[in-house]
Amino acid sequence: MTLSSPPIRIALVDDQALIRTGLRMVLENEPDIDVVNEAEDGHGAIELARVHRLDVILMDVRMPRLDGIAATTAILRQETAPKVIMLTTFDLDEYAFAAIRAGASGFLLKDARPADLTAAIRAVHTGDAALSPRVTRRMVELFAKKLPVASADNPGTTETSSILSTLTPREQDILVAVAEGLNNSEITERFCLSESTVKTHISHLLQKLNARDRVHLVILAYQNGMNIGTAAHDDRP
């Protein structure tokens, strides 16, 4: 007899009680997800992460007293920090992107379908990332021209560009696809590869680029001027 895995322990952080209630109603229908507690601002989120053993926090970006960016930064300094998924709308993309750079494992739109929300939680819990293609595309449109490009005056990105040059052509292709917001299944279709091969390539990318997760790969690709298309797939209707 096999033992089932323990449920994924979730906290909901949003200053709007109605949003938290809606999220809780969706998630409480999932047998492998346990909503542990809620908070209405970043201070509450930090306290929840300190007191409870959490796996994932769903975090609003803009909240009173302490926003999601500052809260994410503080939470991820903790020794046993949970993963953070930012919840955003288009007009808050800049804040969401800042939170991603602070270490969040993904971002979703607040109008995401319930199936997309639960899939994102499960993906992040297993060490993957939750990247909404629509938000990824907007991130490219809004920020690609503003992000630092490798140069002699920017040694950090120059160093990363040097590492990028060590990638195989296939690894570079996979990195671009990840930066466009494609998931593993979509990458397998694009390059006619098995999913296990795609996972191996992504694992190599994480190691070679010293990236903490898939989201970090996206940021590195943008920062180093890779030829990333802005036509990432729309979320499925």
Domain borders along the chain are: 8-142, 149-223
The more confident residue out of 168 and 165 is 168
Across the chain, mean pLDDT equals 81
Q: How confident is the model at residue 182 (pLDDT cuts 50, 70, 90)?
A: confident
**C-beta separation of 96 from 107 below 8 A:** yes
Strand-pair partners of 65: none
Match domain 149-223 to its CATH number in 3.40.50.720, 1.10.10.10, 3.90.180.10, 3.20.20.100.
1.10.10.10
Question: CA dist 99 to 7, 107, 114, 227, Å?
Answer: 26, 9, 22, 24
Structure tokens at 128: 């993957």
- Kindly give, in sequence order, each residue whose CB lies less than 8 Å from that of residue 120, ignoring residues fewer than 6 positions away: 85, 106, 108, 112, 130
pLDDT at 41 > cutoff 90: yes
Read off the pLDDT of residues 224-235 as tens digits, 9 standing for 90 and up. Answer: 777 776 444 444
Give the pLDDT band of residue 58 (cuts 50, 70, 90). very high
Q: Is the pLDDT of residue 160 over 60?
A: no
How big is the CA angle at 122 (ends 201 and 31), to the nearest 5 degrees? 150
Q: Which of 55, 44, 107, 119 is nearest to 81 (CA)?
A: 55
pLDDT for 21 = 95
Choices 3.40.50.300, 3.20.20.60, 3.40.50.2300, 3.20.20.105: CATH for 8-142: 3.40.50.2300
Contact 52, 75 (CB under 8 A): no
